[in-house]
Amino acid sequence: MKWSNRIQIVTGQTCVHISLHLLLIAALVWGWKHQALVEVSSVLLASYGVVFVSMLVTQRIARLRSIGDFLEEASTTYYFGAAMLAIFLISRVVHNSLLLGCLGLVMLIGPAVVSLLAKEPSRIRVSHKKRS
């Protein structure tokens, strides 16, 4: 068994995702030490946006579906980090703690609610088919 497979079995993450985690942590620590955390956070948030848009595009093209699946896993993994970076950047402009807390709650709960609402119509269709 290859060492990368062993790491994936133990951690549940591929070596690429683990190295991305370490690079993100290193970038944030570097930004904090050099007092450039806003700039580093902006770049990381923009790169998350690029990965997300790339994922949407590559999932629509059959030949690029495997790349789209990898990007989907990466964007899902880093959604909460991107949400925290967005709240950090917004907190530099907006100084209302209640508003920031509500925004954070919406950012964290939003994907789960959207996922549940997106799956709900299929349940309704199935229940109508069972009745017929």
Rounded to an integer, the average pLDDT of 7-24 is 83
Q: Are residues 46 and 77 in the same domain?
A: yes
Q: Please report the pLDDT score of residue 119 as a whole number.
A: 62
Q: Please report the pLDDT score of residue 75 as a whole number.
A: 86
pLDDT tens for 86-132 read 999 999 999 999 999 999 898 888 877 877 777 655 555 555 566 55
Q: Please report the pLDDT score of residue 124 as a whole number.
A: 54
For residues 31 and 46, give the distance between their C-alpha atoms in angstroms, rounded to a whole number: 15
Rounded to an integer, the average pLDDT of 56-80 is 88
Q: Are residues 73 and 105 in the same domain?
A: no
Q: Are residues 39 and 69 in the same domain?
A: yes
Helices (H), the chain: 3-11, 15-33, 37-60, 65-77, 79-91, 97-131
Rounded to an integer, the average pLDDT of 46-57 is 92
Name the token pair of 64: 């690029």
Domain boundaries, position 118: 96-132
Q: How many domains does the chain have?
A: 2
Q: Please report the pLDDT score of residue 103 as a whole number.
A: 92
Contact 39, 85 (CB under 8 A): no
Q: Which of 55, 52, 30 is nearest to 41 (CA)?
A: 30
Q: Are residues 40 and 83 in the same domain?
A: yes
Q: Please report the pLDDT score of residue 3 as a whole number.
A: 80
Angle between helices 15-33 and 37-60 (to 10 degrees): 150
Q: Please report the pLDDT score of residue 30 as a whole number.
A: 96
